Amino acid sequence: MNNENTPTIRIVAIVGSVRPGCHTKMAIDLVVDELQGKPGVVVDIIDPIELDLVLPGQEETSDDGEKIRELVTGAAGVIISTPEYHGSYSSTVKMVIDNLGYPSMLSGKPIALLGVAAGSIGAVKALEHLRSVCSHVGGLVLPGPVSVASVHKVFDGEGNCLDPAIEKRIRGAGTKLVDYIHNHICPKMAMEEVARGGSTEQ
C-alpha cells in the first residue's frame, strides 16, 4: 500500500507490435506486471493497435497523437518493446516515435528497451537501431537492454513465460528503470522543487 510520502512515478510502456497474440506484447506484459507491483508506480500503456496514428507529414485525424504525447510528457520514464523485423525494429515502434513530435517528447526521458526475436541471437540488431534513434531524439537510453531469443519457445499460447530465468530478466527491465528514476530523477525533481519554493529554514 502506498503512503503519503511515496512519490508517484508514472511509466509509459510502448507495445511495439500490432500482430494479434504477439510475443512482444507477452514480454512487455511481464514488465507492466512487475511495475504495477511497485509502490507509487503507475503504468500507462501505449498500444498502437488501439490508436489512430498517422505517417509523418499527414494531418492528424484523431486526438490519439496528442494523447500519447501527453502521456509521455507526464512520464518519469519509458519502456519500449519491439520485435526484430528484417534486421531492425518494427515500423510500429517508428510510427509511435514519429507521433511523439519534434522536438520529441522522449527527450530527457530515461528509456528501457526490450526486444524479442525468433532467432537464436535475439533482437540484437533491432535494439542497436532503436537505441540509436532514441538517443538521437534526446532520450536517455539505459544500458543493458533486454533481448529475448527464440521467443516462440519462451512463451506458451496463454502468454506464460516457460523459463524462470528469462522471466526474471524481462521483469528486471522494469526494476532497472524504476531504480534509475529513484536514484537520478527523483532527487533532481526534489532539488528543483526546493529551488522554486526556497528554503523554509530561518
pLDDT tens-digit readout, 33-72: 999 999 999 999 999 999 999 998 899 999 999 999 999 9
The count of structural domains within the chain is 1
Which CATH number belongs to the domain containing residue 178 in this structure?
A: 3.40.50.360
Contact 26, 159 (CB under 8 A): yes
Strands 9-14 and 146-148: unpaired
How much is the pTM? 0.89
Outline where the chain has alpha helix (H): 23-36, 64-73, 91-98, 124-136, 151-154, 164-180, 186-197
- pLDDT tens by residue, 156-185: 999 999 999 999 999 999 999 999 999 988
**Is 109 contained in some domain?**
yes
Domain that holds residue 44: 9-197
Contact 51, 85 (CB under 8 A): no
